[in-house]
Amino acid sequence: MSTETTVVLATEAHLLEILAWLKREERETGEGFYCNREIIVESQQQGEVYCAVVRSTVVGFIVQTRKSVGASIDILEVKPQCRGQGFGKMLALGAIERLFEARAEFITVRCAPRSSEPFWKSLGFQPTGAPQRSVWDAPRLVLQWRT
């Protein structure tokens, strides 16, 4: 990971950059989160999107939502060519810290794609009681506040 990496609240310019690469990713691979662009736009307007930036280029982003008691990490994506360099972990750990500092008692995440489940478990997220799956077969994991 570059020492020049910063995690910042996403601006309108960052949002446009994110949407452009998500659209390109969907067109080229049929994968990614471009299908959730309305959620991403709305979340950015509410100050819930943070991005990892390397030399003024967005390499990944995270959508986090603080709720009345808990919180959720709704989307985390790193550009395909930038994966495996620690950007996702940097974004996830930053979100966890921000959400717990905001007094969230727990944070939930749905593992979509399902292949992300080991990543989230490596950060301390655990399955909740009975297995809860979405229509996309995405396991739901939770991270509890530790005192």
Question: Domains (ranges, CATH) in the chain?
Answer: 5-144 (3.40.630.30)
Position 137 confidence tier, pLDDT thresholds 50, 70, 90: low
Tell me the pLDDT tens digit for each residue of 75-118: 999 999 999 999 999 999 999 999 999 999 999 998 888 888 99
Task: Write the CA distances from 142 to 62, 70, 106, 126, integer angstroms.
Answer: 17, 10, 7, 5
CA gap 23, 31 in Å, rounded: 10
Predicted confidence (pLDDT) per residue in 31-75, tens digit:
999 999 999 999 999 999 999 999 999 999 999 999 988 999 999
Residue 147 pLDDT more than 50?
no
Pull the structure tokens for residue 52: 């990892």
| The pLDDT value given to residue 82 | 95
pLDDT at position 115 is: 87
